[in-house]
Structure 1
Amino acid sequence: MIAYVRGLLTDLDDDSVIVETNGVGYELICANPYLFQEHIDNEVKIYTYHYVREDLQALYGFKKKEDKALFSKLLNVSGIGPKGALAILASTSVGDFVAAIEQEDEKFLTRFPGVGKKTARQMILDLKGKLTAWIPDEENESSIFYAKDHTSQERNQAVEEALEAMKALGYSERELKTLRPELSKKEHANVDDYVRQGLQLMMKS
């Protein structure tokens, strides 16, 4: 099992990033690859999950251990594959997802792409009571790239980077223009959290 990859971030596209280490380029499929864009040509450490089945082998990459752990648990839920698990991770935080599972909030869970009531109920049955230990500790430096104590300027920059990432995901300038003031009211730890908040707001609109 490959626990993580540390090396030079050389490239990215809509689905994955490339990290070169010891002359080998590892393709890591990620939920939001463009969140890594500013780290091109810099060293990164990305947690990985090695997915194997008869007709496929793939490495999935994550910024946080909690995201990797949740991805692994989601794969054990009937009806959830790697694509569906990544869509969930791209749209919410581990903490919010765990809260929805514990509160049996089917309405929240069915907002994710490809998740209907049957799958939402299955996730609750399979995961309730098993994820509470993974709620991120706000005092823990679980983010790889961003510090917790952002200044106002840094928060504004994080919002703009999140909007750029969402633009790369296909959202229009008009949609992002209405989203900017809503995101600016929030105080999140990193760009990833702003993107997740933005996606949640878009799902509600």
Structure 2
Amino acid sequence: MIGYLRGTVNQLFIDCCFIDVQGVGYRVFIATTTRNQLIINNEVTLFTYLNVREDAMQLYGFYTQMEYDIFIKLISVSGIGPKVALGILSAITVEKLCQALGQKQVSILTKLPGIGKKTAERLILELEDKIGAIAEQKDALENVDSLEFEGKEDVVTETTQALISLGYTQAEFMPILKNLKSIDSVESAIKFVLKEFAKR
């Protein structure tokens, strides 16, 4: 499983992009919200999901951890595949989707591409609580840029990526990283975070 890609945006298309990672170009399918954040020739980190089929392997990328989490929840619902899930994320913001599910707004969900009344009702039934939990984490989710370690931005970014690859979410570890008075290396930061988790 490819947890994330960090590379240069080589090309942008309507529903996908090419990310150059040390000379290897990855075709990554993306939602409109992620596409709007990408600039050609700029470096980017995308959280990824690899969809394996009999005839192809397709990589889906997301600019934020929350968008990735919502995508995973969507494809867990019967009848919702990666393409439909990506279409949903292109047609509605994560916040409005969470609101529609939480308030059981079938009329809004049926306006999304590939979603009929029965599928909308299934989405609400299966995801109401799960999506709600993700939405509640939004306020606790701190962006990497909010961590003020002057001159150590790369260390913070690499630490964040490493913790995500270990299976932790930003909502879990960002409050801990924020308590660090200084950050000297990726190794020391990870040890600090893991030590704090062990106390819980």
TM-score (norm 2): 0.65
Residue 173 (structure 1) aligns with: none
**Is structure 2 residue 22 aligned with structure 1 residue 22?**
yes
| CA distance in 1 between partners of 2:24 and 2:102 (Å) | 42
Tell me the secondary structure at the aligned position of residue 86 of structure 1: helix
Q: Which fold has the larger relative contact order, with Cα–Cα distance below 8 Å and residues 6 or more apart in sequence?
A: 1
Q: Is the 8 A contact 2:91 2:113 kept in 1?
A: no
Cα root mean square deviation, aligned: 2.1
Once the two structures are TM-superposed, the CA of residue 133 in structure 1 deviates from its matched residue by 2.4
Once the two structures are TM-superposed, the CA of residue 114 in structure 1 deviates from its matched residue by 1.6
Higher CA-based Rg: 2
> Structure 2 regions of 5+ residues with no counterpart?
147-200
Structure 1's consecutive aligned runs of 4 or more residues displaced over 3 angstroms after TM superposition are 138-142
Residue 73 (structure 2) aligns with: 73
| CA distance in 1 between partners of 2:10 and 2:53 (Å) | 28
| CA distance in 1 between partners of 2:121 and 2:47 (Å) | 29
Once the two structures are TM-superposed, the CA of residue 95 in structure 1 deviates from its matched residue by 2.0
Query: Structure 1's 130 and 34: CA in aligned 2 closer, same or farther, altered over 3 A?
Result: closer
Residue 5 (structure 2) aligns with: 5
Once the two structures are TM-superposed, the CA of residue 137 in structure 1 deviates from its matched residue by 2.6
Deviations 1:140-159 (A, max 9, x none): 455x8x99xxxxxxxxxxxx
The aligned amino acid for 2:138 is D
Q: Percent identity?
A: 40
| CA distance in 2 between partners of 1:141 and 1:63 (Å) | 14
> Structure 1 regions of 5+ residues with no counterpart?
148-205
Where do residues 1-205 of structure 1 align in structure 2 (5 Å cutoff)?
1-32=1-32, 34-37=35-38, 39-135=39-135, 137-138=138-139, 140-142=141-143
How many pairs does the alignment contain?
144
